[in-house]
Amino acid sequence: MNPSTISVLFLAGLVIGLLLFYRPTRRHQCPYCGEAVSIDRIARPLWVKMLMFFLPTKSFKCFACMKPFLMIKK
């Protein structure tokens, strides 16, 4: 395999992994527990800013289940 192919596959896997960890949603409620009242905006981590700069996202944290998630801007 070509080194450039490996780096592209690595970056693609990293972005897919971040999307699976942060669980993007379009609704203003937690995708894990469904809570809509106890969520708050948080700063996006640096690696999310660098790797997913092309996606218009906002980061949130649910205080009911304490899990972070991304909301895709409308």
pTM across the whole model? 0.63
pLDDT of residue 74: 62
| Each residue's pLDDT tens digit, 6-39 | 888 888 887 787 777 777 777 778 888 888 888 8
- What is the DSSP pairing of strand 39-41 with strand 68-72? unpaired
Residues 6+ apart with CB under 8 A from 74: 26
- Between CA 51 and CA 47 the distance in angstroms is 6
pLDDT of residue 2: 81
Tokens 């996202």 -> residue = 57
Task: Calculate Rg over the CA atoms of the chain.
Answer: 14
Give the mean model confidence (pLDDT) for residues 45-58.
Answer: 80
Give the mean model confidence (pLDDT) for residues 36-60.
Answer: 82
pLDDT of residue 10: 84
